[in-house]
A and B are shown apart, each in its own frame.
Chain A
Amino acid sequence: MGVHVPDGFIDAPVSAGAGVVAVAGVALALRGARRELDDRTAPLAGLTAAFVFAAQMLNFPVAAGTSGHLLGGTLAAILVGPWTGVLCVSVVLLVQGLLFADGGLTALGVNIINMAFVTVLVGYGLFRLLLRVLPRTRAAAAGAAFAGAVVSVPAAAVVFTGIYALGGTTDVSIGKVAAAMIGVHVLIGIGEALITALTVSSVLAVRPDLVYGARGLAKPLELRPEPATV
């Protein structure tokens, strides 16, 4: 279950405000992504966005016949870097809103803040923090990815609740909204975390150089000259 907020869920002033914040954040991410990818930005971020889009279609079983799908913020940030990750998820949301009518156009700002900014900031931030203290192994990186992703989804729910408190259009008490949103998203977060950790781990096993968030992990190649025999 994605949290694509539709039109009319958040009132007009707060939606507009969220839009301004989203524009500023995406502009910042644009500058950062150029640093991460330079002139390769368009094709690589484009293909990564296509990957995130496709990955969101992959349903995984959560519990008792319900299924969830990936949000992918943390995963994208770990794989291609935080700025590019924000950019990719934002572009996915833009395309979904504009071309697939998925998520309201006026709610685009809210959706970008929740699903791109918060998941990347919290998920990737925690991932990097943990990598500093954990041993430099693949299992540790997978563990850190799990922790980052598992926290990122409820964090998005918390921020959504905050936005709802500012501009929600119904009179459900904030406590109830928070409890329901966070409760559901803790469950979704576990699925997200499992799949993020295992995906990061499987990419690390094959192409460790491609995992941006764990680039320090790959041992540099060393020259081992044959000892002279003569």
Chain B
Amino acid sequence: MGAGHAHRLYVPGASPVHRLPPQCKIVAVLAFVLAVVATPRERVWAFAAYAVLLGAVAVVARVPVRLVLRRVVIEAPFVAFAFLLPFVADGPRVAVLGLHLSENGLWGAWNILAKGTLGVVASLLLAATTEPRVLLLGVERLRMPRLITQIAAFMLRYVDVVTAELQRMRVARAARGFRARDARATRVLARSLGALFLRSYERGERVHLAMLSRGYSGQMPVLADVGATRAQWTAAAALPLAAALVAAAAWIVA
């Protein structure tokens, strides 16, 4: 239980991006993604500019591009949806490679792919340069209620424990010759899930008692505070400001 919880997305480092306070980075990423989402989809050059901006951040943060690309597949289900769009969308049709595709649908697919991918990459860079625990501190700094961040902290703290338990159950099932073939397997899987819930909840009860015995009164002690200076806010604002310029240009320039 005391094992280190090095996060899969987090890339340890001491780059300028790593050193920025988490709340600055969260606001920057959110503002950046909002600018991307608000950009008209026909301005293809604007999305190229956004990609360059993110690339610059990745270079400064020394995050391997390979890692980012590997994680982008997380949006795969929506990519599939995007590829369906040109076939089902309404409006005038154009011929592409002998297929009659909806022009609107093509733009729609491009819109989702471009904005979705930029959003994922921005979030990935945030997660890659900020430790999960610190990220939660940043969220708390942004006036998120303490209780929410506490719940999230407990979840993060124990998610590996609970997942490992699920994994052990999987191994135990496999050792007994179980393979999920069809819907009849659901009964077995649900039993595991029921047991997993009981173990998680009872662990929660034990954790609570252990905390009470250490003087817990509903508040978690603040161990490290992460204040941000004006210079740090300014540095973090570079990305969203550049993105806002691009978005403004995209709206003005035809």
* A9 in contact with B89 given A44-B204, A48-B201 (CB within 8 Å): no
- Among residues 63 to 117 in chain B, which have CB atoms less than 8 Å away from a CB atom of chain A? 71, 74-75, 77-78, 85, 88-91, 102, 104-105, 107-109, 111-112, 114-116
Instruction: Give chain A interface residues in 18-77, CB to chain B under 8 Å.
Output: 26-27, 30, 33-34, 39-51, 53-55, 57-63, 70
CB–CB A195/B135 < 8 A: no
B208 touches A43 (CB 8 A): yes
Binary per-residue interface labels of chain B (8-20) against chain A in the complex, 1 for a CB within 8 Å, 0 otherwise: 0100000000000
Please give, as numbers and ranges, the residues of chain A lying within 8 Å of B90 by CB-CB distance.
171-173
Judged by a CB distance under 8 angstroms, whether B123 is at the interface is yes
Contacts of A11 in B (CB 8 A): 37-38
A54 touches B112 (CB 8 A): no
Is the beta-carbon distance between B157 and A46 smaller than 8 angstroms?
yes
In the complex, whether B243 has a CB less than 8 A from a CB of chain A is no
**Closest Cβ of chain A: how far from B168's Cβ, in Å?**
12
Asked if A44 contacts B201 (CB within 8 A), the reply is yes
Separation of A202 and B186 alpha carbons in the complex (Å): 12
- Provide the bound-state CA to CA distance between A75 and B22, in Å: 33
Contact B183 A194 (CB under 8 A): yes
Nearest to A3 among chain B residues (CB) is B77
One of A92-100, A117-125, A126-134, A215-223 contacting the partner: A92-100
Q: Does B225 contact A (CB under 8 A)?
A: no
Interface residues contributed by chain B, number (CB under 8 Å): 90
A47 and B200 contact, Cβ closer than 8 Å, known pairs A61-B185, A102-B74, A191-B186: yes
Partner of B183, one of A1, A44, A61, A95: A61
Q: Quote the shortest CB–CB distance from A222 to chain B (angstroms).
A: 25
A7 near B36 with CB under 8 A, answer yes
Please classify the interface of chain A as helix (H, G, I), strand (E, B), loop, or mixed, using the class held by over half of its residues: helix
CA distance A54 to B195 in the complex (A): 13
Q: In the complex, A6 Cα to B124 Cα: how many Å?
A: 13
Q: State whether B190 touches A105 (Cβ < 8 A).
A: no
**Residue with the highest number of chain B CB atoms closer than 10 Å, among A2, A197, A198:** A198
Question: With A7-B119, A172-B90 in contact, is A210–B198 under 8 Å at CB?
Answer: yes
> A82 to chain B: which residues have CB within 8 Å?
none
Do the beta carbons of B74 and A101 come within 8 Å of each other? yes
Closest to B182 in A: A61
Chain A interfacial residues counted at CB < 8 A: 77
Give the contacting residue for B186; candidates A60, A63, A169, A206; CB below 8 A.
Answer: A60
> Which residues of A are found within 8 Å of B114, using beta-carbon distances?
8
- On B, residues with C-beta under 8 Å from A are 7, 9, 26, 29-30, 33-34, 36-38, 41, 71, 74-75, 77-78, 85, 88-91, 102, 104-105, 107-109, 111-112, 114-116, 118-120, 122-124, 126-127, 132, 135, 139, 145, 147-148, 150-159, 161-163, 165-166, 180-183, 185-187, 189-198, 200-201, 203-205, 207-208, 211, 216-218, 220
Interface positions of A (Cβ within 8 A of B): 1-2, 5-9, 11-12, 15, 26-27, 30, 33-34, 39-51, 53-55, 57-63, 70, 79-80, 87-88, 90-92, 94-95, 97-102, 104-106, 169-173, 176, 180, 191, 194-195, 197-203, 206-207, 210
